[in-house]
Amino acid sequence: MSARNTPALNDASKAIQWHNNKLRLLDQRLLPQQEVYLDYDDADLVATAIRNMVVRGAPAIGITAAYGVVLAAAARFKQSEENWRETIEQDMEVLAQSRPTAVNLFWALERMEKCIQALQAGDPIEALLAEAIAIHAEDIAANHTMGELGAALMEEQGIGVLTHCNAGALATGGYGTALGVIRSAHRLGKVAQVYADETRPWLQGARLTAWELLQDDIPVTLLADGAAAHLMKLDKVQWVVVGSDRIAANGDVANKIGTYSAAINARHHGVKFMVVAPTSTIDMSIASGEQIPIEQRPTEEVLCLNDQRVAAMGAEGWNPSFDVTPAALVDAIVTEKGVVLAPNREKMLALMEKS
């Protein structure tokens, strides 16, 4: 792994790159103060990068893991041309354990596994790399489609939109899910102002969403997570638009901690609530959000800031990374296959049966 500084980015879709037989990731922990790329040629280090938030966001995690499989195959094939299929399973498991909530991770690994099983004898790298690149490209295309579909739901011009966490180009292959809708709607004159929750404790809204929107000259105002209800009361927001890390078969949505609060506030104030995610985020194998595993991250993330203790000594921390918003609070789920209004199991099943 190596690091290098780069000039300022104008295109956040370059956050995940394949370059000179290595995976290159924009280190999102350092944004917006620094734009630093890290190069990876080892699958274990890719898993660590996912776990340590170098890259985050469900679609981006899946794409990164797919490239991680390519690196693993290259190393295992070099060790043994006969036994690489067996030994690569260790690397696949390490990648799978990197983040438990984002279902896109497992979807991408399963797709790479199918590619491995279909391979004939010989060097597997070309075929696996082509599959990883296809996963990446398909995600970008899906984001543009979702952007158009989500923007079409916004009937007014010049509205205010609230978003939580970062569901933009940095969290996907490019363009973004929630921010893809916001980008498309802003281009059409429908969104005049974006409000971004800071999104504690990692401050993805303050550091990443604000940075992305400013790259596109979209006006953005930051607010503390707890200020969102008051903002809605003042009629500044007509839509809340968020992404998702996993959607259950009944339409329950797991997303960054604080999304559930935003949905409750939105329903109370008559604000529409939109979830934007590719169908790879939908997990029809689980009946409801109660079955979605919620990642518990280190309590130091809550008790400390930049590795400096800010909480009173002796205080304990609780740090779930995600929460689940019931389908009853969701007005629309937007996917590349179409839009589900007032989601339930029957509607989600009909969506997933579309070709």
SS3 percent helix, strand, coil of the chain, rounded to 5, is 45, 20, 35
Task: Choose, from 27, 139, 245, 323, the residue flagged as catalytic.
Answer: 245
Q: Is the peptide bond before 32 cis (omega within 30 degrees of 0)?
A: yes
Is 139 one of the annotated active-site residues of the chain? no
Helices (H), 156-278: 178-187, 204, 210-215, 228-233, 259-269
Query: How would you class 114 by CB atoms within 10 Å of its CB: exposed for 0-12, middle for 13-18, buried for 19 or more?
Result: exposed
Please give the Cα distance from 136 to 188 (Å, whole number). Answer: 26
Please give the Cα distance from 98 to 65 (Å, whole number). Answer: 9
CB 286, CB 345: distance < 8 Å: no
What residues are labeled active site?
A: 245
